[in-house]
Structure 1
Amino acid sequence: MTIAADDAQHGTSHLYRAMRDFVQSMDDTLPGKFEITKEGIVHDLTTPNGPHELTAAHVRRRLEKVMPTECVAHTGAPDVEDVSEGILRHPDVMLIAEADMEGDGSFDPRTLIAAVEVVSRSTPDNDWVGKMRDYPLLGIPVYAIFDPRTATGTVLSDIHPTPHGPRYATRKDFVYGEDVTIAEWTISTADLPRYPNQ
C-alpha cells in the first residue's frame, strides 16, 4: 500500500493520522513491521530473522561499551515520529541520551545522536533508499547501515540542503572486519553474522 503525501496538500495531516491509526491497529494483528514514510506505508512482511536480530544486538552491545553511561544504544519501542513531516520510523538501534527517552509517546527524531539499521533481506530498499531519504529530513545527524547480505555497510552524516530536500553529504563505506565510527564512537565490525547463502 502506498499513499503519496503530495496527493492531498490540505489533507496531509488528516491522511497521516489515518495512516497512523491503521499502523497502530495492524501492529498486533499482522506479522512484520509497519512504518510511515513520505511515500506512504511500508510493511516489511517478514519477522526479523536470527542474523538480523543478532547483528542489531552485537552493534548495540559494542556501542554501549564505548559510549558514556548517560547515553544508550536503544532497541525496541517506541518509534521516532515527526507528525509535521508525516513520518513514523523505527530504527533497529537508536543512539540517544537517557534524558531524551523520558516521557510518553514516540521519540523526537531530532534528539537521536544516530540511527542504525540492519538491512532486511525482504525490503532492502527501505533501508538503502527510503530511510536514506527520510532520516536527514527528520534531522537525525548520523545514519549507519549494516548489510548482512553483502557484509558491507556505510555511515552517512553531515546533513545539507538540496533541491530534493535535506540529504547526507558525507558517506563512509566499510566492509565487515573493519572498525567503523558512528557519531563519536568506534566499534569493530568483526564476526558480524551474514544471511545464509550470501
Structure 2
Amino acid sequence: MNGGDVTEQSVYRRLREVREAFDKPESLAWPEISRGHLLLMMVSPKKQHQLVAHRLRTQLEPQLGTDLVLMPATDMEDAALGILRVPYLVVIDEEEATAESDAIDPRRCHLVIEIVSRSNPGNDYEGKLRDYPAMGVPHYLIVDPRDGTAVHHWAPTRRSGEPAYDNRQHYTCGHRTVNDTAQLVRSWRRQRGMSQTRLAELAGTGQAAISRIEFGRDLPTLALLDRIASALDCRLTVAFTSSSGQNLP
C-alpha cells in the first residue's frame, strides 16, 4: 500500500466519523461520502417526487417474492474505495438484509434505484453513475420525474480505465421497467409447473442463467428470450413505440 492509499483511507475514516456525529436536520438526507468529499442533499418535498417513489415501491414489491427485500434509504458502503452511498431504493437478498454489518455490501445487491433530485441531478447522472459500477452494483435505474424518463444501466465494466456500465436502456415512465422480464419468466414457469433446471434444458441454457434472469440480475438476449418463450409455450412479441406511447406501424 502506498502513501496515497493511506491518505485516502485516513480521509475516509475521518469523514465517516464526521458523518456519525452529524446532527442531521429534517430537511437533509443522510450525507454520502465519495472521493474524499462529504455530500449533503436536501430531502425533496415535491409531490411529483413522492408520487414516483410510491409507484416504484408498489410496482416492485409484488415482484420480489420471499427471498428478496426492498430497502429504502440504506447505507451501502465500499470502504476500500472510500465510497458510502445511500440509494433511494435497493434490492438485496434476505440474507444480506439480516447480516451483522451496518451497511449493505454493494456487490451483494441486485438493483439500485435513484429518483433524480431537481436541485442536484448531477449526483445521480454523474457521481453515482461513476461510483455504482466501481462498487460492483449490477443494475442501476435512474428515474427522472422532471421529464418522465428512466435509464437502466447494467453490466459493470471499465472503459478507458474508468468504471462504467457496458449497457443502458432508456424508457418513458409509466412503462413497467423494473424486473418485468424476471416477473414474466418466473410467473409463466411456475404456471407450467416447471423447474428452473427443466426450463434451462428446453431453452438450451444453464439453470444458473435462468436463476439470474428471474432474480433480475441479467437481461437475456432476444434470442434466449425467444427460446425461453417457446419452452414455456408462449410467443415472444417485440413492439416499438413512439415517445407518445403509441405503437408504430
> TM tier, shorter chain?
0.7 to 0.9
Change (3 A) 1:116 1:125: same
Question: Which is higher, the Rg of structure 1 or of structure 2?
Answer: 2
Output the TM-score relative to the length of structure 2.
0.66
Deviation of the 1:30 alpha carbon: 7.1
Tell me, which stretches of 5 or more residues in structure 1 are unaligned?
A: 1-6, 188-198
Alignment of 1:129-168 (within 5 A): 129-168=126-165
Instruction: Please name the residue that 1:64 is paired with.
Output: 61
**RMSD value, Cα:** 2.2
Change (3 A) 1:51 1:25: farther
Do the aligned residues in 2 keep the contact of 1:110 with 1:139 (CA within 8 Å)?
Answer: yes
1:12-161 map, 5 Å: 12-29=8-25, 31-33=27-29, 34-38=31-35, 40-44=37-41, 46-49=42-45, 50-77=47-74, 79-102=75-98, 103-161=100-158
Q: Report % sequence identity.
A: 30
Deviation per CA, 1:28-83, whole angstroms, max 9, x where unpaired?
A: 25741211112522211x22223323322321221111122211121133x00010
CA distance in structure 1 between the aligned counterparts of 2:23 and 2:134, rounded to whole angstroms: 25
CA distance in 2: counterparts of 1:183 and 1:11, whole angstroms: 44
> How far 1:178 sits from its partner (Å)?
2.2
Structure 1 contact 13–84 (Cα < 8 Å) conserved: yes
Which residue does the alignment assign to 2:218? Answer: none
Aligned length: 179
Cα distance change of structure 1 residues 110 and 150 upon mapping to structure 2, 3 Å threshold:
same
Q: Separation in 2 of the partners of 1:24 and 1:106?
A: 13
Q: What's the TM-score, normalizing by structure 1? A: 0.82
Q: Contact 1:142 / 1:157 at 8 angstroms: preserved in 2?
A: yes
Name the aligned partner's letter for residue 90 of structure 1: V
The answer to whether residue 195 in structure 2 is matched with residue 178 in structure 1 is no
Q: Which runs of 5+ in 2 are unaligned?
A: 185-249
Looking at secondary structure, tell me which structure has more strand per residue: 1
Taking the aligned partners of 2:79 and 2:53, their CA distance within structure 1 comes to 27
Q: Which residue of 2 aligns with 1:11?
A: 7
Counterpart in the other structure of 2:219: none
Secondary structure of 1:85 counterpart = coil
**Contact 2:78/2:135, CA 8 A, preserved across alignment:** yes
